[in-house]
Amino acid sequence: MTRKALVTGASGSIGRAIALRLSAQGYRVWVHYLHGQQRAQETLELIHESGGQATLVCFDVADVEESRHALEALVDREGHFDALVLNAGQAEDAPFPGMEYEQWSRVIDASLNSFYHVTRPLIMPMMRNRWGRIVSISSVAALHGNRGQTNYAAAKAGLIGASRSLAREVASRGICVNVVAPGFVQTAMIDGISDQLIKQNVPMKRAGRPEEIASVVAFLCSDDASYITGEVINVSGGII
């Protein structure tokens, strides 16, 4: 039977790379998006062109009721999901003394509360199947902090605590829960960062490629990762 995976935020560069890699690994992939419908459609078409199976799904991961309704309907129609990649998130950088509450809460809702909103409706069907993979996409900002990103770093650090705790709860049911923490990756988020600054901060002297993140996620969603859970894998070119 074909395994099923949901990748949130699959209209973005990292989410697209993850969706493509999981499809190549044999998963049927649900390509999630909220605003980026055209890019999500492009991801879908790339999967289909490569011979894979994929379906679009749209809902707001920051909204608990919208997420619950969308995912419960999906489970009723499709059954349990085997893999969940929590990639959707949001950044609104600002120095903390000038950060508005809305900037704080929007990032927390999209990047941390979404862990509950998305995982909660899917976890019991996964537990009943006694096999599953959950991977949260965090950030090195969660491990080291970053100027102007107290909201983002707090959310991404919270993902680590939530994932490690859930890993302990569901390990006996064959479910592995892990975290991938990227550093600088070639996405729109680093468009304003100079190559020189990246070289100063990254021992490998370059930004990572989305495919390099996706390859680690795909491994964690495979049978080969059956004895790895509660871990945070830093994929940052040597930022430690």
Pick the catalytic residue: 33, 101, 152, 227?
152
d(CA 51, CA 26): 10
∠ at Cα 181 (60, 142), nearest 5°? 80
Q: Which two tokens stand for residue 215?
A: 């390859």
What's the token pair of residue 103?
């900037």
Sign of the alpha-carbon torsion through 28, 45, 180, 216: positive
Tokens of 177: 């829960």
* 152 included as an active-site residue: yes
- Distance separating alpha carbons of residues 155 and 175, to the nearest angstrom: 23
Q: Is 204 left (phi over 0), alpha (psi -120 to 50) or beta?
A: alpha
> Which single residue is written with the structure tokens 């980026």?
36
Tell me the C-alpha distance between 182 and 124, whole Å: 29
Bridge partner list, 137 = 180
**Whether the Cβ atoms of residue 214 and residue 83 lie closer than 8 Å to each other:** no
Catalytic residues: 152
